[in-house]
Amino acid sequence: MKRSFLIKPMLDDDYPTAKYGKGIYIYDENDKQYLDGSSGAVTAGIGHAVPEIIEAMHAQAQKISFVYRSQFTTEEAERLAEKLSHIEFIKDGEYCSFFVNSGSEATETAMKIAIQYWQEQGKPTRIKVISRWTSYHGITMGALSLSGHSERRKRFVSLLDDLPTIHAPYCYRCPFAESFPGCQLKCASELEGAIQRLGADQIAAFIAEPIIGAAGAVIVPPEGYYERIKEICERYEILFIADEVMTGIGRTGKMLAMEHWDVKPDIIALGKGMSAGYTPIAATLVSEEVMKPIRQGSKVIMSGHTYSANPQSAAVALAVLDYIERHHLVEEAAENGAYLLNELQKLAKNYPIIGDVRGKGLMAGVEFVSNFFSKYPFSKNVNLTNRIVATARDKGLLIYPASAGIEGGDGDAVIISPPLTIKKHEIDQLIHIFRDTIEEVQGGLMM
């Protein structure tokens, strides 16, 4: 292996070198084709090397690529914020955007704004944010404090804020050993218990991924869950932050996933699909209701980065959002997502290592078990998720390794989330390679 000076996620792994991409495919240095079945990390929402986006990048670079946000605003950043505020589902809330560079910064900013909202109203004790133990909100210390992803937390636990958590709405393995609807949504009601235990005057907000991604491989809550959560938040005057970094911008068949339940968050974190991976940009969207005391109070949000509201990235995000609109990709994601899920569910019937298939839109999760009936997970030594991801990659399919959702980060699962531009015949190709992968990995297991 050639000496590399690049620090990669796994230092000893031999990664293929990406040479170029086209649509839903990526090609390596040997022109081997990979179907991007996960949009990278659920990011490349419109596929690779789309000519309209390249043109927008070029046009913006000829104008200006950088200004410092304390010295200038730009037409591109202003237009992007306006466009996001016009998302049909949330437009009544007059949300303003604070631009950052990553999903981690977006959730961390959301946390800071929630705390500031209370400070401006003379309630400085409201600083805790309740989250769910099965969650991933980002890798910076604040965002990691909100996250229950044990593998990513374990080295830093003593530095992280010890924030309160509740269980996730993980029906496949109900944390209360019940089933829906008989459970009466204990997982949602648990929020009330947590608030009462801590005292509402200590709590700024509750944060949740509408559909859990990396930490739970697409855990979709049961009907009524978010309605109950919102009702509890309102009763105790706690802000509701939706982390739509993975689910936002059409991924689940709606522009924002919270639209599935018609529940409006006070603050929304966006990232990934916003610029579909072409340049880094993310956003914290804040409702006017939350902005009001800040406007009337200190008039400044104490956060921000050198690259915040970068015009090059804003221009790209605008072009991506236009592209999604013009090609009706949100509607396509709903339709093709239903097809993908159905095909995965059919496939699962033949492979007992597949315990559960779940999803919404083009965000599907597949959870693996060593015993289909007891749902017993594979031992960590089997290294199943990595074996499946590596075998799929060898066969020319990229899928995203995730935790199954078992608290503590145990359990094997993958996320399948191709670009929203994928066509049915390409989904057939994806399913074909995935079937070959499962066949080979299952066949190689001592069961």
Residues that bind ligand PLP (CB under 6 A): 41, 102-104, 107, 136-139, 209, 213-214, 243, 245-246, 271
| 253 or 294: CB nearest ligand PLP | 253
User: Using CA of residue 336, residue 337, residue 339, residue 343, what is the dihedral sign?
Assistant: positive
Give least dist CB 246 to ligand PLP, A: 4
| 104 or 385: CB nearest ligand PLP | 104
| 47 or 216: CB nearest ligand PLP | 216
Point out the residue whose Cβ comes nearest to ligand PLP: 103
Give least dist CB 148 to ligand PLP, A: 12
| 294 or 409: CB nearest ligand PLP | 409
| 101 or 119: CB nearest ligand PLP | 101
Q: Rounded distance, CA 168 to CA 358, Å?
A: 15
| Three-class SS of the chain | CCCCCCCCCCCCCCCCCEEEEEECEEEECCCCEEEECCHHHHCCCCCECCHHHHHHHHHHHHHCCCCCCCCCCCHHHHHHHHHHHCCHHHHHHCCEEEEECCHHHHHHHHHHHHHHHHHCCCCCCCCEEEEECCCCCCCCHHHHHHCCCHHHHHHHHHHCCCCCEECCCCHHHCCCCCCCCCCCCHHHHHHHHHHHHHCHHHEEEEEECCCECCCCCCECCCCCHHHHHHHHHHHCCCEEEEECCCCCCCCCCCCCHHHHHCCCCCEEEECHHHCCCCCCCEEEEECHHHHHHHHHCCCCCCCCCCCCCCHHHHHHHHHHHHHHHHCCHHHHHHHHHHHHHHHHHHHHCCCCCEEEEEEECCEEEEEECCECCCCECCCHHHCHHHHHHHHHHHCCEECEEEEEEECCCEEEEEEECCCCCCCHHHHHHHHHHHHHHHHHHHHCCCC
Q: Classify residue 409 by burial, with Cβ atoms within 10 Å: 0-12, 13-18, 19+.
A: buried
Give least dist CB 282 to ligand PLP, A: 6
| 183 or 413: CB nearest ligand PLP | 413
Give least dist CB 214 to ligand PLP, A: 5
| 74 or 107: CB nearest ligand PLP | 107
Q: Judge if the upstream peptide bond of residue 181 is cis by omega within 30 degrees of 0.
A: yes
Give least dist CB 101 to ligand PLP, A: 8
Give least dist CB 243 to ligand PLP, A: 5
Give least dist CB 328 to ligand PLP, A: 25
Give least dist CB 107 to ligand PLP, A: 5
Give least dist CB 244 to ligand PLP, A: 8
User: Using CA of residue 192, residue 196, residue 197, residue 203, what is the dihedral sign?
Assistant: positive
| 166 or 369: CB nearest ligand PLP | 166
| 8 or 328: CB nearest ligand PLP | 8
| 46 or 268: CB nearest ligand PLP | 268
| 102 or 287: CB nearest ligand PLP | 102
Give least dist CB 137 to ligand PLP, A: 5
Q: Rounded distance, CA 337 to CA 316, Å?
A: 25
Give least dist CB 276 to ligand PLP, A: 13
Q: What backbone torsions phi and psi does residue 95 show, to the nearest 5 degrees?
A: -70, 135
